[in-house]
Structure 1
Amino acid sequence: MHKKTRGAAMAALLLASPLGTSLAAEPPPRFIVTLRSEAVAQAAAATAARASLPQRLGLQALGEAGAGQLVLRGRPGQDAVALRQALAADPAVAAVQLDRPVRRHALPNDPRLARGDSLGPAVGQWYLQTPDASRPSAIDAVRGWDLSRGGSLSSSVIVAVLDTGVRPDHPDLADKLLPGYDFISDPAIAIDGDGRDGDPSDPGDHTADGDPFGCSAAPSSWHGTQVAGLVGAATDNAVGMAGAGWNLRVLPVRVLGRCIGYQSDIVAAMRWAAGLPVSGLPTNPNPARVLNLSLGGGGACDSVYQGAIDAVRAQGVVVVASVGNSNGRAVTAPANCRGVIAVGGLRHDGQKVGYSDVGPEISLSAPAGNCANDSGPCLYPISTTSDRGLAEPVGPTYTGDGADASLGTSFATPLVAATAGLVLTVQAGLSPDEVRQVLQRSARSFPEGGTACRAPGAVDQLACRCTTSTCGAGMLDMAAALQRASTTVPAGEGGGGGGGAPGRLGLLVLALLVVAAARATRRRA
């Protein structure tokens, strides 16, 4: 289809009715439109373009930003993405970009963001801050939020957290959660007395010695609640912590129970979360654009995992997964599946954190929490939402700098998932591959110095200098990713294709519930 024809069809659609997901209460979209040089060189053509272009698309001309750069404004409620596509299709137009609002630099008022309180780590949410010499791996969310905070809460991108479920009574999560689902089919694992149902709340996943699934005694982890808080804790509400995704919404999907989860439940949950049909279940009315999988195990990717990943990616859904916490060994499924954004873990100083696994499958790395000392409070944990109960839920709290410190690649992953969600609020038409490219190409280089990480093998390797072959393209940079997304034009539809290597259909999936493992390895980080 020729550009002009496609542009005319889009224009007719735009003039017929207000389109898209923007709410009327939001500012109307504005664009800086650069005319083609030949149109600018010819005065008559330039004058005609200045007059006809806004008329054809029902836009208001506000003036010029520079020579040959028109400033155009849409109507309240119009879809910025559709307008941008229509403008770009016009033969007189060379380039289009959003005329981004610029605000003063301001931090949200969540007390744990800038510093710890009486129960939290002294460094507060260090991992969201602008990086400096003392913490080069921080993701610069505070400057990223000046580019996007996820739009309005009612229409923002949805991130599905496939995990142990959530505690819906947590004050930093209660208003951010969408109706989810419990996909655990085995009542012995589910703990809540039944199989699959519409209640994704976490009843606790504590285990005792002699557990039939092979886990040793451990208190409830509240792992899903912790992951959900990092993605989407209510932000700028003067309570607790800030979520990396600010206004992103969280879809809780319970797939992990006592000790373990099963792959069959996880792949069904992936499809449902993406809006695909699952036999015997109601269709998800709130499909996610991003899936967070802070779980894994079982070696190489098989056709069951790969088939589910291909299917959700064909829907435009981004899959983000943690690489594992086995002290520098090989990445396991689903993080090693084709098309997944696999996330490694970093120390505050930008080195690979001791427990994080390594390998060429890793897309990029992000802060995962480390203590940097042999005794006393953990210095650089990932503070997040949790519950006080050792077995059953007792009441909401936040993880701190003691035995409850959140450490693990499970907690690096939601920082990347949240950034991917915000990238999609800036440019909704990006494919999963394009989102990964934005994240990788905007990542900061790993610090120099120290012994380089080596390829995974049969021997542990703890903290080491990351390379692009062991820890991915670089360190997550939210501000740079959102800036890059704002100038990235979608190339077309994304998605996967074909199955992966054959595998065991009944693969038992071991969750990356890092509480016990992190406690054992925290001083080695």
Structure 2
Amino acid sequence: MSQPFPSRPLALGLLMAALAAPLGLQAQSASAAVAATSGTETVGRVVVRFKAGAQSVRAQALSARTDVATARQIARSRAQSLGQRMGLALHAHHSLDERTQVVLARGLSSEALAARLARDSEIELVAVDHRRRLAAVPNDPLYPQVNQAQGSNGHGQWYLMPPSKDLVSSINAEGAWDLSTGSSSVVVAVLDTGVRYDHPDLAGKLLPGYDMIGAMTNDVDALAVANDGDRADSDASDPGDWVSNADIEAGSISGCTYDDVANSSWHGTRVSGLIGAASNNGIGVAGVSWSSKILPVRVLGKCGGYDSDIWAGMRWAAGIAVPGLPLNPSPARVLNMSLGGGGSCSDGSGTATMYAETVAAVRAKGAVIVAAAGNTSGQAVGLPANCSGVIAVAGLRHVGTKVGFSSVGPEVTLAAPGGNCVNASGACLYPMLSTTNSGKQGPVSNDNAYTNSDASVGTSFSAPLVSGVAALLLSVKPELTPDQVRQALVSTVRPFPTTGGGSAGDANPPACTAPTGADQLECYCTTSTCGAGMLDARAALASVAPPPPASSGGGGGGAMSPAWLLALLASVPLLRRWRRQP
């Protein structure tokens, strides 16, 4: 028969007393107690349950009504008797019910202690008292797969979840978050269209950044591309990159055609949200690296951006002095470049040389460069992703096949989800949810907007997943070089699937082949076309920061709340996470 909970004053007294002096250790100083459990000496910790008819139980009953001092004395007496029988010096900790308590022994592992105590005739059950860690699943409402909030697609942020038979390419960010959610000392530069600083889900994550557009030029064309009324300055805000028929008819932007006519993309805001939206804050979405800072570097405007602005932006972001610009006070460890265009970094041209030299200079500063492979429907990877030293990222469908739009080739480092709609009509089923702005041309102020079920897809959104994981790696091991970050990513990938593809679930796409100039849509990735394999955030992070042996493999949510501890102390007898690539 269960006993009632103690009165509120008694309950608080039990809790405070237990926190102040664990059973059997109350004579120790605070420093000695800490040394016993966190120093170099091994301390075994197990939970034992005595049999109902055991002499130790019959000698003195323990119940919910037992006062604190008596409860300690009974637990201590039982532990001492058990220790004497087994030839061990046992220390008693708190009791869980009338027959179950925690005991500790120095000089033995928990597993060895459990094996010894299980042999005692009075013991019914022994369990190692593992240290559990919180499962870091964010409370952002658009994260869960089943949530339909705010127009969600119904699959939430599927690409961050643990992989499953239905979500083969998901990166298991949940598993990585059990090891680290990032560090504010790691800065990720987003070289893009700028960012909306007033988006609530990016609050506190954004550094001042810089607007590079027109930094190397002083012509009218640059002013039109910038679309903010000025040239290079310290305001990296995105004013919108919409292109209208009037822009084309005016001819103010060279190379801009009617194919470019579109509403504002808010591309930099979308990319920034994937890398590091404010997470576990009860609104919107989660980013890969919860704590890392984002440095917006605006290099793209209307109809794209110029190489010169991109080169200047890369150097400035890494902390390299650029003539005419102030030195960046917050050098980035990761540069995300969800942009690209045609050309090869090894064709001997001046453009190729400049990209190669810029990449080398940035890497020499210790910064990792991640770039989108491109969206050329199975054709070759372009600049800057094909430069040596750049981590090029191809795009995957949710089932792990190459998504139709992604470029392929031997320059690809690895692959990550890029979004895909599957359905021919209606809301996109597997988009890349992120922060955005609802303005068609100029921005809506303080707009808490998300892409939701829009067809937000592209290798532009594959790259920031890798950038976010790179930030996590550097958060736990800041001394990693760019090559070591790359190695951690590629050595821990999951292999590409060879079955289960097909947009309708019953088709069998071919294997991807080397680019020939012809389109190749959905296909089964190979290591010569889509990189080493599929990004695995948890495995990558564990490779540089292995979980403690006492942890039970990430997750589990074993932290004790005061209310639960109170229930245990009461002894109730119940135990029961150039151009933007679209």
Question: What is the TM-score of this pair, normalised by structure 1?
Answer: 0.73
Paired residue secondary structure (1:339): coil
Q: Pick from 14, 37, 40: which aligns with 1:62?
A: 40
Given the alignment of the two structures, is residue 396 of structure 1 paired with residue 460 of structure 2, yes or no?
no
Q: How does 1:466-481 map to 2 (within 5 A)?
A: 466-481=525-540
Q: 2:240 matched to which residue of 1?
A: 204
Question: d(CA) in 2 for partners of 1:118 and 1:109?
Answer: 15
Which AA in structure 1 matches 2:169? S
Q: Is this contact kept in 1: 2:179–2:542, CA < 8 A?
A: yes
Q: Is this contact kept in 1: 2:460–2:580, CA < 8 A?
A: no
Given the alignment of the two structures, is residue 127 of structure 1 paired with residue 159 of structure 2, yes or no?
yes
Paired residue secondary structure (1:348): coil
Q: 2:186 matched to which residue of 1?
A: 157
Given the alignment of the two structures, is residue 427 of structure 1 paired with residue 496 of structure 2, yes or no?
no
- Hey, which bits of structure 1, 4+ residues long, moved more than 3 A? none
1:215, CA displacement in angstroms?
3.6
Given the alignment of the two structures, is residue 139 of structure 1 paired with residue 117 of structure 2, yes or no?
no
Find the structure with the greater CA-based Rg: 2
Question: d(CA) in 1 for partners of 2:199 and 2:257?
Answer: 28
Q: 1:171 matched to which residue of 2?
A: 200
Q: 1:214 matched to which residue of 2?
A: 256
Q: C-alpha deviations, 1:304-351, integer Å up to 9, x for none?
A: 111111001001100000011010000000000010000000000000
Q: Which has the higher contact order (CA 8 A, sep 6+)?
A: 2
Question: d(CA) in 1 for partners of 2:475 and 2:132?
Answer: 16
Q: Pick from 296, 300, 303: which aligns with 1:256?
A: 300
Q: 1:65 to 1:331 in 2, by over 3 A?
A: farther
Question: d(CA) in 2 for partners of 1:390 and 1:261?
Answer: 20
Question: d(CA) in 1 for partners of 2:186 and 2:268?
Answer: 19
Q: 1:184 matched to which residue of 2?
A: 213
Q: 2:133 matched to which residue of 1?
A: 103
Q: 1:380 matched to which residue of 2?
A: 430
Q: Is this contact kept in 1: 2:136–2:177, CA < 8 A?
A: no
Q: C-alpha deviations, 1:408-440, integer Å up to 9, x for none?
A: 000000000000010111111111011011000
Given the alignment of the two structures, is residue 416 of structure 1 paired with residue 427 of structure 2, yes or no?
no
Which AA in structure 1 matches 2:208? P
Aligned residues: 396
Q: C-alpha deviations, 1:213-261, integer Å up to 9, x for none?
A: 3243100000000000000100000010001111111000100000110
Q: C-alpha deviations, 1:39-80, integer Å up to 9, x for none?
A: xxxxxxxxxxxxxxxxxxxxx9432489xxxxxxxxxxxxxx
Question: What is the TM-score of this pair, normalised by structure 2?
Answer: 0.66
Which AA in structure 2 matches 1:436? R
Q: How does 1:219-234 map to 2 (within 5 A)?
A: 219-234=263-278
Q: 1:463 matched to which residue of 2?
A: 522
The share of aligned pairs that are identical, in percent, is 55
Question: d(CA) in 2 for partners of 1:110 and 1:202?
Answer: 25
Q: Is this contact kept in 2: 1:300–1:332, CA < 8 A?
A: yes
Question: d(CA) in 2 for partners of 1:313 and 1:487?
Answer: 26
Paired residue secondary structure (2:357): helix
Given the alignment of the two structures, is residue 448 of structure 1 paired with residue 498 of structure 2, yes or no?
yes
Q: How does 1:198-347 map to 2 (within 5 A)?
A: 198-209=234-245, 210=248, 212=253, 213-216=255-258, 217-301=261-345, 302-347=352-397
1:487, CA displacement in angstroms?
5.4
Q: Pick from 412, 427, 452: which aligns with 1:362?
A: 412
Q: Is this contact kept in 2: 1:130–1:141, CA < 8 A?
A: yes
Q: 1:65 to 1:188 in 2, by over 3 A?
A: farther
Q: Is this contact kept in 2: 1:365–1:476, CA < 8 A?
A: yes
Question: d(CA) in 2 for partners of 1:463 and 1:337?
Answer: 25
RMSD: 1.7
Paired residue secondary structure (1:336): coil
Which AA in structure 2 matches 1:62? T
Paired residue secondary structure (2:449): strand
Q: 1:311 to 1:102 in 2, by over 3 A?
A: farther
Q: Is this contact kept in 1: 2:366–2:481, CA < 8 A?
A: yes
Q: Is this contact kept in 1: 2:373–2:381, CA < 8 A?
A: yes
Structure 2: gaps of 5 or more residues: 1-37, 45-130, 215-221, 346-351, 500-508, 548-577
1:116, CA displacement in angstroms?
3.6
Q: Is this contact kept in 2: 1:323–1:342, CA < 8 A?
A: yes
Which AA in structure 1 matches 2:194? G
Q: C-alpha deviations, 1:88-110, integer Å up to 9, x for none?
A: xxxxxxxxxxxxx9513241110
1:174, CA displacement in angstroms?
2.1
Which AA in structure 2 matches 1:480? A
Q: Is this contact kept in 2: 1:206–1:221, CA < 8 A?
A: yes
Question: d(CA) in 2 for partners of 1:229 and 1:131?
Answer: 21
Q: Is this contact kept in 2: 1:343–1:365, CA < 8 A?
A: yes
